[in-house]
Amino acid sequence: MIEEGLVLGIETSCDETAAAVVRGDGTVLSSVVASQDSFHAHFGGVVPEIASRRHTEVITAVVEQALRESCAGPDALDLIAVTHGPGLIGSLVVGVAAAKAYSLAWSLPVVPVNHVEAHLHAAFLHSPGEDPPVRPEYPAVCLVVSGGHTDLIAVHGPGDYQLLGCTRDDAAGEALDKAARLLGLGYPGGPAIQQAADGGRPDAVPLPRPVVQGYDFSFAGLKTALARLVEEHPPASPADVADFAASFQQGVVEVLWATTYRAVADLRPRQLIVAGGVAANRRLREVFAAGAEKCGVRLAIPPPHFCTDNAAMVALCGIEVYRRTGPVAPDFDVFSALPSPGDPGEKV
């Protein structure tokens, strides 16, 4: 039974090379993430060609380390799961080619995983010997909030998704990364904004709270307002930068919560799942924890290291995909754009 088996997950959709070994119940036996931050920091963003070359250099070492740390040899594995989109094509190709090669060499089935659906599973991972912090409960509402996505998804059952809304312009993480650049903060921008915001006042700088009808989001107005204010009143001291950072962070978090709250109030789910790199944000976690408690909905949010990109979430999601699809022919492709879970859109 694959549910009780061991899955090797591989993730290379952007600038982290990651591999993990996860048991079907969500127990993480190993999770290795090789960050490329130092290679891209100088450019203020991910350089696709550098990303794919770096993945090529380290992918086998990362997989070997994940196997070693899990104390499971290839013989103990039952499945390989790999991200095949959305993401940078040159990066995805490296992980998918590696996964297909291991699948052939070790005679194991391999399944392609949607990166956004993988994020949705991160809340259910746990360490050996620990009880799962939460188990999936349905219906659920899930907010995936990352560098490329801001998706609100209703989860009616395992693998049964309905996309409620998404961003009409920038993703929340993208907005934070751009704001960090405007404020002269480091890369990646989200953690830099969080750190700078620590000493700042969240109400110091007047920024709008763009509200979109339905369950969509918009962050372009917030970003443009910040750019205009920075141009008119350039921050003159670290305290000013802290105020700008804290105010922008508060704006992003309030916009995220306002729409999520509407979905929770309308759909009355049993569980609210929050995932993706921006879910690592401390202010977001405080606001969502308080909001969920007020609404009487159970919050499932992974620890920060499973919010950002990792392969453990890909492995766990792979089990669900395998249950849906069974063995997949090894000629599957990679996609820079893949419809989010519950979206009938096009693969590109």
* DSSP assignment string, 281-326: -HHHHHHHHHHHHHHT-EEE---HHHHSS-SHHHHHHHHHHHHHH-
Window 14-53: contact mask with ligand KG4 (x via CB under 6 A): x---------------------------------------
Q: Which residues contact 90 (CB under 8 A, 6 or more apart)?
A: 48, 49, 51, 52
Binders of ligand KG4 in range 190-209 (CB under 6 A): 190-191, 194
Two tokens at 235? 């921050």
- Output 6 or 256, the one with its CB closest to ligand KG4: 256
Does residue 188 interact with ligand KG4 by CB under 6 A? yes
CA distance 71 to 29: 8
From 51-59, 162-170, 185-193, 288-296, give the range in contact with ligand KG4 by CB under 6 A: 185-193
Does residue 308 interact with ligand KG4 by CB under 6 A? yes
Binders of ligand KG4 in range 67-96 (CB under 6 A): none
CA distance 65 to 17: 12
* 34, 18 Cβ separation under 8 angstroms: yes
b/e sequence 234-248, b meaning 16+ C-beta within 10 Å: ebeeeebbbbbbbbb
* 171, 150 Cβ separation under 8 angstroms: yes
Window 99-138: contact mask with ligand KG4 (x via CB under 6 A): ----------------------------------------
- Output 6 or 278, the one with its CB closest to ligand KG4: 278
Does residue 269 interact with ligand KG4 by CB under 6 A? no
The binder of ligand KG4 chosen from 9, 90, 136, 173 (CB under 6 A): 173
Q: Which residues contact 213 (CB under 8 A, 6 or more apart)?
A: none
CA angle 139/142/147 to nearest 5° reads 165
CA distance 269 to 141: 6
Shortest distance, position 14 Cβ to Zn ion, whole Å: 7
The binder of Zn ion chosen from 309, 316, 317, 335 (CB under 5 A): 309
Does residue 189 interact with ligand KG4 by CB under 6 A? yes
Does residue 36 interact with Zn ion by CB under 5 A? no
The binder of ligand KG4 chosen from 36, 91, 114, 146 (CB under 6 A): 146
Does residue 176 interact with ligand KG4 by CB under 6 A? yes
Radius of gyration of the chain (CA): 20
- Output 108 or 163, the one with its CB closest to ligand KG4: 163
* 63, 82 Cβ separation under 8 angstroms: no
Q: Which amino acid is at 68?
A: R
The binder of ligand KG4 chosen from 95, 277, 302, 341 (CB under 6 A): 277
Residues lying near Zn ion in the complex (CB under 5 A): 146, 309
Under the rule (CB under 6 A), what is the footprint of ligand KG4? Answer: 14, 146-148, 173, 176-177, 188-191, 194, 276-278, 280-281, 308-309
